[in-house]
Amino acid sequence: MSKPFDYSKWDNIELSDDEEDCHPNIDKESWFRMKHRSRVEREENEAKDRARIEQKVAGYAEPKEDLKKVSETMRQTQIGATDGEKKPAAVKSTADSDAEATTATKPTPANTDSAPNNTSNDTSPSLATKSSPAGPARDLGAMDTYHEFTEKYADLVEQFMALPDLAGSEEFLLRHGDVLLQENASNYLLLASLEDEMNGYHDKMKRTARQSQIITSIAELAKTVKTHPGNVIRPFFQRLKERLHLEEFLAQTKAFQEKIVSRAVVKRQEIDRERAQEARNEKGTSLEDIPLEQRLGPGGLDPLEVIETLPPGMVAAFESRDVEQLKQVLMEMDADEAEAHMKRCIDAGLWVA
């Protein structure tokens, strides 16, 4: 018969993760109580911070949804420049709050005091898997910049712009939806329609605007049903076969075309003003363009009025800024007359004494 196993060496097991931290000259029980109290206080503070952050994030949820709706509305109604914009401060605040909440909800290390109190979500692995969007495998946001997109896909978007009917547009989108359903493609169509109208190609603008509305409507439908835009291409065109939906789409397209026309008028006026300003800058600022209060000389005289009363020789000298010519004209004049003219020129700021 074999000798029984001796379990006596396990009779006095001390279970403590803090024993090694205790100095020999410090009372162990006091040390453990202090460590336990510090741990409890830390956990209470973490719980308070977590509750505060969760309340803060919950408060941002509704404004965040409102901002998304406002952003989409602005993209539909504004026909101006589409890049270089800054994020609203509220969006940044919600992003910061999300990051803060993520940090606050990270699992804390387990300890011997709190081990029996751990909840299931602290100890069991998460079974949630990251869902991948349905539709084409290509990521719609793959392009980093609008410039990169235009370099790679401008020709493809131009082909889509030239399609004359809805049937051709449907087939083209089914083949190239991974590119054409990107936001950069929508921006390209928007700018192209505005440029066509500004250049006088009204019929081409109308066709481009219609294609732009196809992309926009598909994106809106995908957002409504919460799916990938590529999944609603066929359903969208199937809806257009119904008279009610077709009339609604045509009305939206017409309204969009009218906005393009209005924006093109404003844009042309802005360009004309810029060109006129550049022409004035090249020629130099004229005295007529300066307000009277600003152009008065040190003696309170208006240089425009003074120069109209000067002899032709002095006027030519001032306009050519030829000092020698001015001296020659003054020497040929009577001394008192020359002195009177020069005094008025000084008071008007035409000559610096």
Separation between Cα atoms, residue 107 and residue 115, nearest integer Å: 13
The answer to whether the CB of 57 falls within 8 A of the CB of 97 is yes
Eight-class DSSP state of 132 = P
Of the residues 283, 310, 328, the one at which a domain ends: 283
CATH code (residue 191):
1.20.58.610
Band (217; pLDDT cuts 50, 70, 90): very high
Separation between Cα atoms, residue 304 and residue 107, nearest integer Å: 80
Does 78 reside within a domain? no
Lowest mean pLDDT among 53-57, 273-277, 309-313, 345-349: 53-57
Same domain, yes or no, for 256 and 301?
Answer: no
Same domain, yes or no, for 154 and 263?
Answer: yes
Q: Which pair of structure tokens corresponds to residue 319?
A: 């306009």
Band (83; pLDDT cuts 50, 70, 90): very low
pLDDT score of 134: 40
Same domain, yes or no, for 61 and 156?
Answer: no
Lowest mean pLDDT among 130-144, 212-226, 271-285: 130-144
Using the predicted structure, report yes or no on whether residue 248 has a pLDDT greater than 90.
yes
AA letter at 1 = M
Eight-class DSSP state of 353 = -
Of the residues 250, 283, 316, the one at which a domain ends: 283
Using the predicted structure, report yes or no on whether residue 48 has a pLDDT greater than 80.
yes
Does 25 reside within a domain? yes
Same domain, yes or no, for 309 and 243?
Answer: no
Same domain, yes or no, for 267 and 162?
Answer: yes
Q: Going by C-beta distance under 8 Å and a sequence separation of 6 or more, which residues neighbour residue 22?
A: 28, 31, 32
pLDDT score of 287: 58
Lowest mean pLDDT among 29-38, 227-236, 320-329: 29-38
Does 278 reside within a domain? yes
The answer to whether the CB of 31 falls within 8 A of the CB of 18 is yes
Q: What are the residue ranges of helices labelled H in the chain?
A: 28-77, 89-104, 120-123, 146-161, 166-180, 183-198, 202-225, 233-239, 243-283, 292-295, 303-309, 312-320, 323-332, 335-348
pLDDT score of 273: 83
**What is the full DSSP assignment across 69-130?**
HHHHHHHHH--S--SSPPPPHHHHHHHHHHHHHHHHTSPPPP-TTTGGG--HHHHSPP---P
AA letter at 106 = K
Does 228 reside within a domain? yes
Does 5 reside within a domain? no
Using the predicted structure, report yes or no on whether residue 71 has a pLDDT greater than 60.
no
Percentage of the chain surpassing pLDDT 90?
27
Band (107; pLDDT cuts 50, 70, 90): low
* Averaged pLDDT score across all residues of the chain: 74
Same domain, yes or no, for 55 and 168?
Answer: no
Using the predicted structure, report yes or no on whether residue 342 has a pLDDT greater than 70.
yes
For residue 255, with 0-12 CB atoms within 10 Å meaning exposed, 13-18 middle and 19 or more buried, which class applies?
middle
Does 313 reside within a domain? yes
Same domain, yes or no, for 272 and 304?
Answer: no
Same domain, yes or no, for 274 and 176?
Answer: yes
Does 224 reside within a domain? yes
Using the predicted structure, report yes or no on whether residue 138 has a pLDDT greater than 60.
no
Of the residues 283, 300, 322, the one at which a domain ends: 283
Mean pLDDT, residues 332-338 taken together = 85
Q: Which residues span the domain enclosing 150?
A: 146-283
Using the predicted structure, report yes or no on whether residue 74 has a pLDDT greater than 90.
no
Cα 255-236-256 angle, rounded to 5 deg: 10
Same domain, yes or no, for 169 and 244?
Answer: yes
Same domain, yes or no, for 271 and 162?
Answer: yes
Q: Which pair of structure tokens corresponds to residue 196?
A: 């066509």
Mean pLDDT, residues 57-77 taken together = 58
Separation between Cα atoms, residue 168 and residue 217, nearest integer Å: 17
pLDDT score of 33: 72
**Number of folded domains that form the chain:** 3
Does 101 reside within a domain? no
Q: Going by C-beta distance under 8 Å and a sequence separation of 6 or more, which residues neighbour residue 104?
A: 46, 49, 50, 53, 54
Using the predicted structure, report yes or no on whether residue 118 has a pLDDT greater than 60.
no
Same domain, yes or no, for 297 and 272?
Answer: no
Lowest mean pLDDT among 71-80, 120-129, 139-148, 243-252: 120-129
Residue-wise pLDDT tens digits, 268-322: 888 888 887 777 666 555 556 666 666 677 777 887 788 788 888 888 887 787 8
Cα 260-266-271 angle, rounded to 5 deg: 120
Mean pLDDT, residues 223-231 taken together = 91
Dihedral over alpha carbons 301, 303, 304, 309 (to 10 degrees): 80
Helices 202-225 and 183-198 pack at an angle, to 10 degrees, of: 160
Residue-wise pLDDT tens digits, 151-191: 899 999 999 999 999 999 999 999 999 999 999 999 999 99
